[in-house]
Amino acid sequence: MLELKDVREYAQQIAEAIAAVLKIDVEIADNNLVRVAGTGIYSHKVGRSMDRQGYIYREVIRQGHQLVIENPGEHELCQPCAQWGNCLEKCEIAYPINLDGQAVGVIGLLCFSEESARLVTENQSSYLIFLGKMAETMALKLKENEFLNKLVSSNQYLNSIMNCLREGLLTVDLNGRIIHYNQVAQGFFPKSITLPGATLDLLLGHKIAGEILRAAKDGKEILEREVRVGSGQDCLQLVLRTLPIIGNMGEESIIVTLDRITEISRIVNRFSTHEASYTVNDILGISDTIVQLRERAKIIASSNSTVLIRGESGTGKEMLARAIHSLSPRRQAPFVAINCTAIPEALLESELFGYEEGAFTGARKGGKLGKIELANGGTLFLDEIGDMPIFLQAKILRMLQERQIERVGGLQSIPVDVRVIVATHRNLEQMIVQGEFRQDLYYRINVIPMLIEPLRARKADLEILCEHFITVYNQQLNKSVNTLSPEFRRKLEEYAWPGNVRELQNTIEYAMNLAPGNSLDVEHLQAKIRDTGVNGEAGSPYNLDAIEREAILRCLQKYGTTLQGKEKAAEALGIGIATLYRKLVRYGISNSPR
């Protein structure tokens, strides 16, 4: 609760007003018996304690009722005073200042002459009424100050809340004049928003401002209206929302909120993305190639350079991309993946780059953000980039070089900050020769090449992968499998795994569904794996991979495994030496043919 000392200037004005009207000295004390105002001989004693003299005031504060002392120095309440029996005062009136049923101070009238004492005695009732009004005025002033302090405190609290918002917030009247703004909004419009008479026109342009004001006057709400503020590298893309409001006095105004599209993208990604988040420790394997792959991922994660991941289908290219993202400084930002094969060619451009309203028949009102914009600040993963149409390759190249894009149907360049990781199982070099892939894009994406070897080339990883999948499916299928029969292991070793780790995972799941006990045996395998020969071929004599593998083996047996022998073998097979080496790796053929 406020005290009289908080309104001491006003108390002094009241004391001087009373003294001027009644021609009598006045003092005002608070409930701690500290003089907060005074006239005449008391004017220089303001701020001093009256604890040793204010016995009358103490009683008035205790009772909350006025006292008239016609014989100061002889009244029983004056006995403790040092001036007892020798007081200079001739008469005294003490009137309480009551606030909410409690005395917070006293107004004292003090007479030092017989004439003034006579006037007070003769007009006592009038004086008491007058002092009562003055005491009420003091109490009202305290109430007013208390209300104003609470109002200021509430306003500061409200401002603190608004300044804690991630969104920019404006309030404007129906003429578009800015009434209030928070710190975030000021950050969007650092200069124009602080100008005298700042308006929506000045901040957002005539077209958007007019749309907001018309909608507000019609009582409508605008949602997800995209606006751009600034230009070039300083351009901000914001989502604007408005809501008309009516105050207690019937006055109408508009609340405008502004949020960065990148922030909305981050929130959407956080709460709507359910794909697993992988780390390098999820890339299982003990082979030299996998160990080196994990170490390389840790080294290059902090870079912003483009990564090209190559490997056959099922080797875990997206897992590696996610692991790199989770190690990078961008890990709190979105990871947006798009499969260039899975989306029809006619839709891929708008899916990647987004589109403006009216860009084509059926375009959504307000346009749409593309995957690249959604990945802003984070990582964009383009899977199977070798299947991307040639005309889109040019747009991706421009995005990588200039770090900006244009939406379908748009005229304005939008800056983007994304790290791009691409993946493919195709032979990009051969595609370049055939005119199916741009050479300039190839060099732009092949900054950090990474290769995931097929599973058949790293059979040492089979055991740890099997253990992992068994653990996973024990939990999912409520099983307790813990051993593999020797024949089961041998069949896994012999098989070529054209589907790589994904096929191995499916194989373990299939076997565990069939296994009645705690062991996996050869009868729990699919027929194509169970019937695999010693060289990893399926039993069918028409299997092309098996035929090609057998042809390579025969050539190596004829010409040998030396460098010259391999060159002759490649010539006999009608392929280049580099292609022969890739096929040796693919089919798991060692230097010494079996």
The CATH code of the domain that includes 175 is 3.30.450.20
Residue 88, in any domain of the structure? yes
Residue 536, in any domain of the structure? no
Give yes or no: residues 249 and 202 share one domain: yes
Residue predicted with more confidence, 200 or 513: 513
Instruction: For residue 549, give Cα distances in angstroms to 221, 376, 545, 555.
Output: 68, 46, 6, 10
Give yes or no: residues 324 and 470 share one domain: no
Instruction: For residue 69, give Cα distances in angstroms to 77, 388, 398.
Output: 9, 103, 96
Q: Is 99 helix (H, G, I), strand (E, B) or coil?
A: strand
Parallel, antiparallel, or unpaired: how do β-strands 335-339 and 379-383 relate? parallel
Over 70: is that where the pLDDT of 541 sits?
A: no
Please provide residue 191's backbone torsions phi and psi, each rounded to the nearest 5 degrees: -105, -50
CA distance 87 to 112: 10
Instruction: For residue 70, give Cα distances in angstroms to 6, 76, 92, 96.
Output: 32, 12, 6, 18
Residue 10, in any domain of the structure? yes
String of DSSP letters for 135-161: HHHHHHHHHHHHHHHHHHHHHHHHHHH
Residue 138, in any domain of the structure? yes
The CATH code of the domain that includes 108 is 3.30.450.40
Give yes or no: residues 310 and 442 share one domain: yes
CA distance 277 to 264: 20
Final residue in a domain of this structure, among 451, 472, 488: 451
Give yes or no: residues 343 and 422 share one domain: yes
Residue 52: give the domain boundaries.
4-147
Neighbours of 557 (CB within 10 A): 13
Q: Which residues does 275 contact at the CB level (< 8 Å), separation at least 6?
A: 322, 337
Final residue in a domain of this structure, among 229, 245, 268: 268
Amino acid symbol at 579: T
Give yes or no: residues 253 and 192 share one domain: yes
Q: Mutual orientation of helices 462-477 and 486-494 as an angle, nearest 10°?
A: 120
Residue 514, in any domain of the structure? yes
Over range 474-483, report the average pLDDT. 91
pLDDT at 393: 93
Give yes or no: residues 494 and 548 share one domain: no
- The pLDDT mean for the chain works out to 84
Residue 518, in any domain of the structure? yes
CA distance 495 to 500: 10
Confidence of residue 593 (pLDDT cuts 50, 70, 90): very low
pLDDT tens digits, one per residue of 508-523? 999 999 988 889 998 9
Residue 166 in contact with residue 144, Cβ under 8 Å? Answer: no
Strand partners, 49: 34
Give yes or no: residues 301 and 314 share one domain: yes
pLDDT tens digits, one per residue of 302-346? 999 999 999 988 899 999 999 999 999 998 888 999 998 888 887
Give yes or no: residues 392 and 345 share one domain: yes
CA distance 580 to 552: 8
Residue 594, in any domain of the structure? no
Residue 46 in contact with residue 12, Cβ under 8 Å? Answer: yes
Q: How far is CA 77 from the centre of its chain?
A: 70
Q: Mutual orientation of helices 544-559 and 577-586 as an angle, nearest 10°?
A: 120
CA distance 77 to 508: 101
pLDDT at 594: 36
Residue 171 in contact with residue 185, Cβ under 8 Å? Answer: no
CA distance 431 to 260: 40
Q: Which residues of 125-159 are buried (b: 16+ CB within 10 A; e: fewer)?
A: eebbebbeebbeebbebbeeeeeeeeeeeeeeeee
pLDDT tens digits, one per residue of 139-165? 899 888 888 888 888 888 888 888 888
CA distance 421 to 226: 29
Q: Which residues of 206-226 are buried (b: 16+ CB within 10 A; e: fewer)?
A: eebbebbbebbeeeeebeebb
pLDDT tens digits, one per residue of 347-374? 888 889 888 766 776 666 666 778 888 8
pLDDT at 27: 92
The CATH code of the domain that includes 520 is 1.10.8.60
Tally of domains within the chain: 5
The CATH code of the domain that includes 400 is 3.40.50.300
pLDDT at 165: 81
Strand partners, 240: 225, 258
Q: Counting beta carbons within 10 angstroms of the beta carbon of residue 292, is it exposed (0 to 12), middle (13 to 18) or buried (19 or more)? A: exposed
Residue 159, in any domain of the structure? no
Give yes or no: residues 281 and 429 share one domain: yes
Please provide residue 404's backbone torsions phi and psi, each rounded to the nearest 5 degrees: -155, 155
Lowest mean pLDDT among 27-36, 371-380, 496-505, 551-560: 551-560
Over range 467-472, report the average pLDDT. 93
Over 60: is that where the pLDDT of 114 sits?
A: yes
Please provide residue 590's backbone torsions phi and psi, each rounded to the nearest 5 degrees: -80, 175
pTM of this structure:
0.59
Give yes or no: residues 224 and 336 share one domain: no
Final residue in a domain of this structure, among 224, 246, 268: 268
Lowest mean pLDDT among 115-124, 174-183, 242-251, 492-501: 242-251
pLDDT tens digits, one per residue of 253-264? 888 888 877 666
Residue 305 in contact with residue 479, Cβ under 8 Å? Answer: no
Give yes or no: residues 254 and 279 share one domain: no
Amino acid symbol at 369: L
pLDDT at 296: 94
Give yes or no: residues 416 and 303 share one domain: yes
